[in-house]
Amino acid sequence: MLNRCGRRLLHVLGLSFPLLTGRPLFLFPHRFMKPQVVFVLGGPGAGKGTQCARIVEEMDQTMAANAQKNKFLIDGFPRNQDNLQGWNKTMDGKADVSFVLFFDCNNEICIERCLERGKSSGRSDDNRESLEKRIQTYLQSTKPIIDLYEEMGKVRKIDASKSVDEVFDEVVKIFDKEG
């Protein structure tokens, strides 16, 4: 039995599971489009989670108006080469990476944001020592993935050091331009 989210995804993709066979059928294969994926990347504290929550509201409205606009956000992925290889192996031909939304932010600003967040979030990794390690991991593992997509012309870079609203205004412009 599929949950509500799974049924919604199948509806958006134009799939149905008949009761007797349990196998997917394409209802409208001529209209079927591969899902368009947007990877959302940036360092710890760059605002990925904050912005993704806002983007999802805008995407829900867009998809409700036009089911052919089937973009999916994947927040904080791929984080390293192993993630990327797994994605390519599993999703090759099933989904297309439309672009990488890269929240670029100075490391010190990211640290300050996380330290502030740590005062109320209860996250044990929102302390300076952990954050410096997380930033090093980001620079060594995730930044090369961003650079790879940059070489392919698929990175949409946003100055994430600005206010939440200013960053979101830039996000909206990118999604409007990308369709």
Q: What mean pLDDT, rounded, does the chain reach?
A: 81
What's the pTM value of the predicted model, to 2 decimals?
A: 0.76
What domain range is 62 assigned to? 36-178
For residues 73 and 55, the answer to whether their CB atoms sit within 8 Å is: yes
Give domain status of residue 22, yes or no. no
Q: How confident is the model at residue 146 (pLDDT cuts 50, 70, 90)?
A: very high
> 3-state DSSP call for residue 27?
coil
With residue 99 as reference, give the H or E element that holds it: strand 96-104
pLDDT of residue 21: 38
Total tally of structural domains belonging to the chain: 1
Q: What is the CATH number for 111?
A: 3.40.50.300
Give domain status of residue 29, yes or no. no
Task: List phi, psi (to 5°) of 69.
Answer: -90, 85
One-letter amino acid identity for 140? Q
The two tokens of residue 115 are 């330290």
> 3-state DSSP call for residue 15?
strand
Task: Measure CA 17 to chain center.
Answer: 27
Q: How confident is the model at residue 8 (pLDDT cuts 50, 70, 90)?
A: very low
Q: Which of 44, 43, 40 is nearest to 114 (CA)?
A: 44
Determine how β-strand 25-26 pairs with β-strand 15-16.
antiparallel
Place of tokens 């944001």: 113
Give domain status of residue 83, yes or no. yes
pLDDT 10s digits, 53-110: 998 888 777 666 666 667 788 999 999 999 999 999 999 989 999 999 999 999 999 9
Give domain status of residue 12, yes or no. no
For residues 117 and 173, the answer to whether their CB atoms sit within 8 Å is: no
pLDDT > 70 fraction of the chain, expressed in percent and rounded: 78
What is the Cα–Cα distance from 42 to 107, expressed in whole angstroms? 10
